[in-house]
């Protein structure tokens, strides 16, 4: 007790530092391990319309049946629907862009108004140099915007 009386200022500073260290530890812990009761995506997916797997399979089958594509894979990330389409090497860009209409015709208006849609067209054989082709449909737009044959280093250098 006499030690505490003799070093009163150092003791108070030490206790305050210890309390701050404990609070900092809890703050860092909460930052890296948030409460599991909350969604990772926050409230962005509240009232999200259900995407029926049967509709997705129908879209995939229609794209394959068009004889322009070899394979179609699909994934959803937060509020973005992504379709990865491997096209045949003789598929023209305009024909590939028409496949986007299959997707828009098959999905409900609720889904189209909530989700962004991304299409990634590639030629797995590498014979058609017009690919890759990327299409993007924002939930607030009426049609797809397109970017084709983008490669690293294609920017004009002056």
Using 50, 70 and 90 to split pLDDT, how confident is the model at 89? Answer: confident
pLDDT tens sequence across 93-102: 888 899 989 9
| Average pLDDT estimate for 26-54 | 77
Choose between 19 and 89: higher pLDDT: 19
Q: Which residues contact 80 (CB under 8 A, 6 or more apart)?
A: 115, 116, 117, 118
Q: Does domain 53-148 have CATH number 3.30.300.190?
A: yes
- Of all residues in the chain, what percent carry a pLDDT higher than 90? 30
Domain boundaries, the chain: 2-32, 53-148
Examine the pLDDT at 114 and tell me if it is beyond 70.
yes
CA distance 69 to 123: 9
Per the CB < 8 A criterion, the answer to whether 109 and 136 are in contact is no
Among 7-16, 64-73, 147-156, where is mean pLDDT lowest?
147-156
Using 50, 70 and 90 to split pLDDT, how confident is the model at 158? Answer: very low
pLDDT tens sequence across 74-88: 999 888 999 999 998
Residue located via tokens 């594509």: 69
């Amino acid at each position: 007790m006499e030690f505490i009386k003799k070093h009163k200022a150092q003791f108070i500073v030490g206790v305050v530092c210890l309390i701050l260290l404990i609070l900092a530890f809890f703050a860092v812990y909460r930052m890296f391990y948030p409460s599991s009761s909350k969604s990772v995506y926050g409230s962005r997916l509240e009232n999200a319309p259900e995407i029926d797997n049967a509709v997705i399979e129908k879209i995939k089958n229609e794209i394959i049946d068009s004889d322009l594509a070899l394979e179609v894979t699909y994934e959803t990330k937060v509020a973005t629907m992504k379709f990865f389409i491997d096209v045949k090497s003789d598929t023209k860009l305009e024909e590939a862009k028409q496949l986007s209409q299959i997707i828009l015709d098959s999905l409900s208006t609720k889904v189209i108004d909530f989700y962004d849609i991304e299409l990634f067209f590639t030629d797995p054989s590498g014979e058609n140099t017009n690919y890759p082709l990327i299409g993007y449909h924002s939930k607030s737009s009426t049609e797809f915007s397109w970017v084709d044959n983008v490669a690293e280093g294609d920017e004009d250098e002056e």
